[in-house]
Structure 1
Amino acid sequence: MPITVALAFLFWQGLPVDWAVGIWTLVNVVLFHAAANCWSDYFDYKKGVDRDDTIGGVSITSGEFKASEIKALAMGLLAVSVLSGIALLLCTGLPTLYLGLAGSLLIVLYPWLKYHALGDVDIFLTFSLLPILGTSYVATGCFHTSVLWLTLPIGLITVGILHVNNSRDIEHDGRAGIHTFAMLIGAKASAVVYCIEVLLPFVWVAVAAAVGIFPWWSLLVLVALKPAADNASAAMCFPAEGIEALRGVDEKTAQLQLIFSLLFTVSFFVDKLL
């Protein structure tokens, strides 16, 4: 979704957008995302993070796939995305190489960074800052720093998906001997951080609209405020009620990201075309 939001924002600003390259970039980022998910699942299983009694990461523990199959899938998806990225590089310019290398490195290092409390930073960079900034370059031919205003609302909700998952798995992750950010700050602080991650984006967009950075139509994202508030309420019950309070909240946060991003994207097109 960061790609579609960035493309819509660039269009709203009146910049010449190469839509074919933009869509190409979107497909490539989806491939990178899928590779990252498989890579993470493989290492979580090998590290003992995902076991039969854990809630998430059941693709291997359930016996549906072998660990070797998930690893091969991750490598295959990464290889395809790298080849596609090289072709994209030939159609754009050298900065695409640096962005692609940074993204690939962050994906490969993600398991290690996650196990050392830096997974949240990795996710923000990989699925917000880099794709949004990169889209501005590949779709228009140069970097536009104005797109950086998009990175926080998109990035925070995306990080929220990981954070609530890690919050739920604090006990299991501790058993595996890893150290996530949620583990370091504890259940109560983790609940507060999650609330900030899913609610601050609405404040950010509203303030940005008020000062003219975003169009007033961007307030369409407020339609997603109710599910965000519901998720935040569930998170605040976590310290007292345990992991059952967070069951399904990671999936609901992913749905929130989709709805928020779609509304955000539509708002730029509507304001430009009306």
Structure 2
Amino acid sequence: MKKWIVAARLRTLPLALSSILMGAVLAQHVFMFRRDVFAWAVLTTILLQVMSNFANDYGDTRNGADTAERVGPVRAVQSGEITPRQMLNAILITGTAAFLSGIYLLVVAFGSFSSVYFRGFLGLGLLAMAAAYTYTAGKKPYGYVGLGDVSVLLFFGLTGVVASYFLYTLHFEWSLLLPGIACGALATGVLNINNIRDMESDRKAGKITIPVRLGRKKALIYHWCLLLIAMGGAVAYISLKNGQPYYLLSFPLIFLNGIQVSKHENPDPYLKTLALTSLVFVILFGLSLNLH
């Protein structure tokens, strides 16, 4: 059981849940939060994230990015703790569970299978599952050509926030893109830390991530840009909604992450801290909107 817990990479869960929680606090601001929608959204997100982590473990080993020379935590398939066949089965099981949970979430949110919203969100969910698998697995993984950052920004930010808000309210407004971008930028920052850590092994494996393309110095500048974009999105939205300044308490933690990543050759410890910081950021963002 321990090897499966390690392979599930639980430290990534706060990051995955941040956009779902952001959608919830935005819905609470307009008094449309629902506990049942939130509970099923959380379960679906966790299952999808674990499936994605399993697929990443499987894909990077099969495509040569995870080797004995890798700097970060040892991966389950690469180390032999879990066989490729076992991991494929785990991907199938968690993917099926995520799909079924997502179906029930949509029924809870929209009331029936016949809703036009149900069909649209079903397609979006299937797209998210495909993106989770093909990031590093499959014949042409898009993470190997530097498109992982775009996917994370979209699914952990814009789509995660806007879509989860819509599940509560059946409503969209353009200003939601600001908290969506903020969450997405922090999530992309976590991926960037991962890719800075793995630069050498990725380069040897032909995995052309943003840090491999830019080099370490420019990748650190890119990291700071992501952190500043996240903070800027928060300032803009809270100011637009005349919220309270509690969200500013998360800014020192965000700045600290930038400093730590810049100073240390191996930034792996700060991947987890930025994931947790993103969750703190969303909680304080919610307090800023909902406490008067």
* Alignment match of 2:85 (pick from 60, 68, 80): 68
2:233 aligned with 1:216, yes or no? no
Matched with 1:31 is 47
2:174 aligned with 1:148, yes or no? no
Shift of 1:76: 1.2
Distance 1:40 1:69 in 2: 14
Shift of 1:68: 3.0
Distance 2:247 2:87 in 1: 36
Matched with 1:104 is 129
Could you tell which deviates more after superposition, 21-30 or 160-169? 21-30
Shift of 1:98: 2.3
Shift of 1:144: 4.1
Which whole-Å deviations, capped at 9, do the CAs of 1:184-207 have from their partners, x for residues lacking one?
A: 111111000111212332233223
Distance 1:146 1:98 in 2: 24
2:214 aligned with 1:185, yes or no? yes
Shift of 1:152: 1.1
Contact 2:27 2:33 in 1 (8 A): yes
Corresponding residue SS for 1:58:
coil
**Residues 204-243 of structure 1 mapped to structure 2, 5 A cutoff:** 204-210=233-239, 212-213=240-241, 215-217=242-244, 219-237=245-263, 243=265
Matched with 2:8 is none
Matched with 2:279 is 258
2:57 aligned with 1:8, yes or no? no
Shift of 1:122: 0.9
Shift of 1:57: 4.5
Cα RMSD for the two superposed structures: 2.0
5+ residue gaps in structure 1?
A: none
5+ residue gaps in structure 2?
A: 1-17, 111-117
Distance 1:28 1:247 in 2: 27
Which whole-Å deviations, capped at 9, do the CAs of 1:23-78 have from their partners, x for residues lacking one?
A: 21122112111111111111111112112231224231444433333332222111
Distance 1:160 1:57 in 2: 18
Shift of 1:116: 0.8
Contact 1:18 1:140 in 2 (8 A): no
Q: Which amino acid aligns with 1:51?
A: T
Distance 1:165 1:2 in 2: 20
Distance 1:198 1:37 in 2: 24
User: Structure 1's 9 and 75: CA in aligned 2 closer, same or farther, altered over 3 A?
Assistant: same
Contact 1:28 1:84 in 2 (8 A): yes
Distance 1:5 1:247 in 2: 26
Q: Which amino acid aligns with 2:166?
A: Y
2:72 aligned with 1:46, yes or no? no
Shift of 1:183: 0.9
TM-score, normalised with respect to structure 2: 0.82
* Alignment match of 1:124 (pick from 153, 157, 160): 153
Shift of 1:177: 1.5
Contact 1:3 1:26 in 2 (8 A): yes
Corresponding residue SS for 1:69:
helix
Q: Which amino acid aligns with 2:206?
A: G
TM-score, normalised with respect to structure 1: 0.87
Distance 1:118 1:173 in 2: 14
Distance 2:174 2:228 in 1: 24
